[in-house]
Chains A and B, each alone.
Chain A
């Protein structure tokens, strides 16, 4: 029962919101009710692994208690992290190590997301930065269902304070009417992005990757269109999911962090990675990059950046192109930092630097799609040749969809405010770090224009739901 199924959209979500709204006033159900809804969601999606999921939550809570109360924090922490990483690696990379013919265990729903979330909690517990929680709070924090299929990665610093009721209130989770309005807007627009916009860019790719895999000729322009198409398809798929998760959560009075904030407005690769999959970036920064750069040496800083990008790449999959993707992104990011350090480019920059940076960043990220979207090196190399104009195909493509859709998407993403910009006043300050306040006249308000936008987005999305592919990051 994916977020993009009719059962979820028309039955599970409205019913669970209604039941929550009716019963939340009862103090004994304060946190239990959303936890039960989350476990029901897990059961409906992946009943086989529900016990495994509960065991992971239970064991990690016990480990967190042991770390908090022990003098040998480091030993317990190392054990807990190693256990979590082995658990994750066993499921994610089983197919790499298993003998052919052996049955590969199915990936438990949200394994990466709940494992990373718990590792962060364990590390912060050892650092003394995490508050002690009761099992119910902890279980809800990890199991809260909107983040399970494909994130965002949750931080206990953002989530746990939301579960603490003010002394005069029975429950902390009491959504106001405005929360429902904001929630349905985020959900509808997110669903629209996934159901209506993402498939356009899937079609725009044509059969370029297929032909590249077969060694057939591919042309220069069509390869660039296919790579940009893949990038935009992934963006609208994942960003749509993240906004849906935020919207669903908001209808239960829980705020989730922003995961995508207009990444194509980035004028450098470093900025891009602060706007694309923000919660993964924050996790890598806090729990990998910072521990590696305690000593302030330049080489350590660059090496840590490389390691972070390699870790991100390996998380995507254990293939040769993805490893090269990690090296490529590491070079881009360290190169970007080096140019800043040498004052060749400034942080502020003028208009020319800003726009040149946007074009370069988009082109550089689109180029990396050749490594990201291909399963083996032969196909990746063929796509790279296509991007360089050496793919032996005719320069201009016959498929007009991409020629219209890609420039349209670039212009829209560069010039129009993002949904997060338009809704920033309705989001908590911690969830979105805006570069500057938006002054658009289309800023979100409960008015007829936004009601029409939500209604049309919902209708169009529901029409397009059947036969829709699962979220790209659902199998991580």
Chain B
């Protein structure tokens, strides 16, 4: 201990600071490199290190998506909110499409942010097909926003892509979840890339502080409070037109997705008096898409896929919660998306049954 207390010359004091800081930095960088918590640079997972992946936190979702597209340029990009991330299995999609598919789900990804984000993707990858989730709650009619995307300069500045704190915490949590047995309320992506969540209606994660019902009442209230504007917002038309033009200018086939929500959430929308606005908004989106001959795949009211998924012999629930569908439904949607984009018809004209591919 005496060595710690002995006076050093000022020069040695600074050298000691530098060496200790450099040692710590290498240690931390090594941990992040080995664990690769966002699955950016490792093709093969390491057993008991990073086989099981955790959901990327909100602060790092944009950075993860952009860097993954740079390291492994995708042919097909499925871009949307957390519903895309939790509902679609990237490994399964890649097998289905027989090409590189990237599922980029960013919490509360607003239509107004997508243009910048897609431009950033396009600088790094030649995307052949873009599936874009559109949603009333992330449209310009609502002011719901992703804080990480609030400042658009974030996309241009690599320094803002990642939070080092988040990377370390995520690495340690990934290590922990791989080394120790999973708990019932852990949410994670398994070895096959399937998302798993707590099916016990979120009780354990909220610590019993409030019931599932009151939590969703509050969530719905806070979301609807931000949706006071006109549904047929001119800003939506402009944003969507810009995105479509940008994609078409670079020969990227674009398909719009309207993803399913649970019956309970639909009831909330009706009870909250939002149904006319949502319907009007959807009509507006379809109208804009049809002007550019862009297909819109609407799974919100698409009972065929729901029925197929419901009748499947699958252990997963259909929905993890009121807004997030599971891979059980997601797999059927992916199959349908592949089929529908082959026939490439516009939603309103799409006819016939949907046969899932084996």
A binds B: yes
Interface, chain A (partner B; CB < 8 A): 6, 177-178, 180-181, 184, 398-399, 441, 445-452, 454-456, 458-459, 462-467
Q: Which residues of B contact A181 (CB under 8 A)?
A: 10, 13-14
- Are the C-beta atoms of B17 and A455 separated by less than 8 Å? yes
- Are the C-beta atoms of B5 and A177 separated by less than 8 Å? no
- Are the C-beta atoms of B17 and A451 separated by less than 8 Å? yes
- Are the C-beta atoms of A463 and B168 separated by less than 8 Å? yes
Q: Which residues of A contact B20 (CB under 8 A)?
A: 451-452, 455-456
Given A398-B209, A464-B165, A467-B59, the answer on whether A447 and B17 have CB atoms closer than 8 Å is no
B202 → A minimal CB distance (Å): 14
Mask for B20-56, Cβ within 8 A of A = 1, else 0? 1100110010000000000000000000000000000
B35 → A minimal CB distance (Å): 15
A9 → B minimal CB distance (Å): 12
Q: Which residues of B contact A456 (CB under 8 A)?
A: 20, 24
Q: Which residues of B contact A177 (CB under 8 A)?
A: 10-11
Given A458-B21, A459-B21, A459-B25, the answer on whether A451 and B162 have CB atoms closer than 8 Å is no
Q: Does B6 contact A (CB under 8 A)?
A: yes
- Secondary structure dominating the interface of A: helix
Q: Which residues of B contact A458 (CB under 8 A)?
A: 17, 21
- Are the C-beta atoms of B28 and A447 separated by less than 8 Å? no
Once bound together, how far apart are the Cα atoms of A63 and B168, in whole Å? 55
Once bound together, how far apart are the Cα atoms of A180 and B18, in whole Å? 14
- Are the C-beta atoms of A466 and B163 separated by less than 8 Å? yes
Once bound together, how far apart are the Cα atoms of A448 and B18, in whole Å? 12
- Are the C-beta atoms of B10 and A180 separated by less than 8 Å? yes
Q: Which residues of A contact B164 (CB under 8 A)?
A: 462-466
Given A6-B159, A181-B10, A464-B165, the answer on whether A449 and B4 have CB atoms closer than 8 Å is yes
- Are the C-beta atoms of A446 and B4 separated by less than 8 Å? no
- Are the C-beta atoms of B5 and A449 separated by less than 8 Å? yes
Contact pick for B9, options A184, A398, A441, A446, CB 8 Å: A446
Q: Does B7 contact A (CB under 8 A)?
A: yes
- Are the C-beta atoms of B24 and A455 separated by less than 8 Å? yes
Q: How big is the B interface, by class?
A: 20 to 34
Name the residue on B nearest A441 (C-beta): B5
Name the residue on A nearest B6 (C-beta): A447
Q: Which residues of B contact A180 (CB under 8 A)?
A: 10, 14
Interface of chain B residues 139 through 178 with chain A (CB within 8 A): 159-160, 162-166, 168
- Are the C-beta atoms of B8 and A451 separated by less than 8 Å? yes
Q: Which residues of B contact A459 (CB under 8 A)?
A: 21, 24-25, 28
The 8 nearest A-B residue pairs measured at CB: A455-B20, A451-B16, A177-B10, A446-B13, A449-B4, A466-B163, A455-B21, A398-B207
Q: Which residues of A contact B12 (CB under 8 A)?
A: 446
- Are the C-beta atoms of A446 and B7 separated by less than 8 Å? yes
Once bound together, how far apart are the Cα atoms of A137 and B13, in whole Å? 34
Q: Which residues of A contact B17 (CB under 8 A)?
A: 184, 451, 454-455, 458
Name the residue on B nearest A207 (C-beta): B209
Query: Which of B3, B17, B59 has the most C-beta atoms of chain A within 10 angstroms of its own C-beta?
Result: B17
Once bound together, how far apart are the Cα atoms of A398 and B205, in whole Å? 11
Query: Which of A178, A450, A466 has the most C-beta atoms of chain B within 10 angstroms of its own C-beta?
Result: A466
Other CB < 8 Å A-B pairs besides A398-B207, A466-B160, 13 of them? A177-B10, A180-B14, A181-B14, A398-B208, A447-B5, A447-B7, A448-B4, A455-B17, A455-B19, A455-B21, A458-B21, A466-B59, A466-B164
Name the residue on A nearest B11 (C-beta): A177
- Secondary structure dominating the interface of B: helix
Once bound together, how far apart are the Cα atoms of A464 and B160, in whole Å? 13
Given A177-B10, A398-B208, the answer on whether A463 and B28 have CB atoms closer than 8 Å is yes
Once bound together, how far apart are the Cα atoms of A431 and B280, in whole Å? 66
Name the residue on A nearest B10 (C-beta): A177
Q: Which residues of A contact B14 (CB under 8 A)?
A: 180-181, 184, 451
Query: Which of B12, B19, B21, B164 has the most C-beta atoms of chain A within 10 angstroms of its own C-beta?
Result: B21
Once bound together, how far apart are the Cα atoms of A69 and B3, in whole Å? 61
Mask for B132-143, Cβ within 8 A of A = 1, else 0? 000000000000
Once bound together, how far apart are the Cα atoms of A96 and B16, in whole Å? 53
- Are the C-beta atoms of A448 and B21 separated by less than 8 Å? no
- Are the C-beta atoms of A466 and B165 separated by less than 8 Å? yes
Q: Which residues of A contact B16 (CB under 8 A)?
A: 448, 451-452, 455
Q: Which residues of B contact A445 (CB under 8 A)?
A: 5, 7
Given A451-B16, A466-B162, A466-B165, the answer on whether A446 and B8 have CB atoms closer than 8 Å is yes
Given A181-B14, A446-B10, A463-B165, the answer on whether A452 and B160 have CB atoms closer than 8 Å is no
B147 → A minimal CB distance (Å): 9
Instruction: Provide 25 A-B residue pairs closer than 8 Å at the C-beta atoms, listed in order of the A residue.
Output: A6-B159, A398-B209, A399-B207, A445-B7, A446-B10, A447-B4, A448-B16, A449-B4, A451-B16, A451-B17, A451-B20, A455-B17, A455-B18, A455-B20, A459-B24, A459-B25, A462-B164, A463-B165, A466-B59, A466-B160, A466-B162, A466-B163, A467-B59, A467-B163, A467-B165
- Are the C-beta atoms of B8 and A448 separated by less than 8 Å? yes
Once bound together, how far apart are the Cα atoms of A340 and B162, in whole Å? 55
- Are the C-beta atoms of B13 and A451 separated by less than 8 Å? yes
Once bound together, how far apart are the Cα atoms of A452 and B21, in whole Å? 8
Once bound together, how far apart are the Cα atoms of A62 and B8, in whole Å? 49
Name the residue on A nearest B162 (C-beta): A466
B15 → A minimal CB distance (Å): 8
Name the residue on A nearest B9 (C-beta): A446
Once bound together, how far apart are the Cα atoms of A449 and B16, in whole Å? 10
Q: Which residues of B contact A448 (CB under 8 A)?
A: 3-6, 8, 16
Name the residue on A nearest B25 (C-beta): A459
Name the residue on A nearest B159 (C-beta): A6
Q: Which residues of A contact B208 (CB under 8 A)?
A: 398
A47 → B minimal CB distance (Å): 16
Q: Which residues of A contact B166 (CB under 8 A)?
A: 466
A2 → B minimal CB distance (Å): 14
Name the residue on B nearest A182 (C-beta): B10
Name the residue on B nearest A196 (C-beta): B165
Once bound together, how far apart are the Cα atoms of A467 and B165, in whole Å? 9
Once bound together, how far apart are the Cα atoms of A92 and B162, in whole Å? 35
Contact pick for B8, options A6, A398, A447, A465, CB 8 Å: A447
Name the residue on B nearest A455 (C-beta): B20
Q: Which residues of A contact B160 (CB under 8 A)?
A: 466
Q: Which residues of A contact B28 (CB under 8 A)?
A: 459, 463
Q: Which residues of B contact A449 (CB under 8 A)?
A: 4-5
Once bound together, how far apart are the Cα atoms of A398 and B210, in whole Å? 10
Once bound together, how far apart are the Cα atoms of A458 and B16, in whole Å? 13
A111 → B minimal CB distance (Å): 24
A133 → B minimal CB distance (Å): 33
Q: Which residues of A contact B59 (CB under 8 A)?
A: 466-467
Name the residue on B nearest A397 (C-beta): B209
Name the residue on B nearest A176 (C-beta): B10
Mask for B57-75, Cβ within 8 A of A = 1, else 0? 0010000000000000000
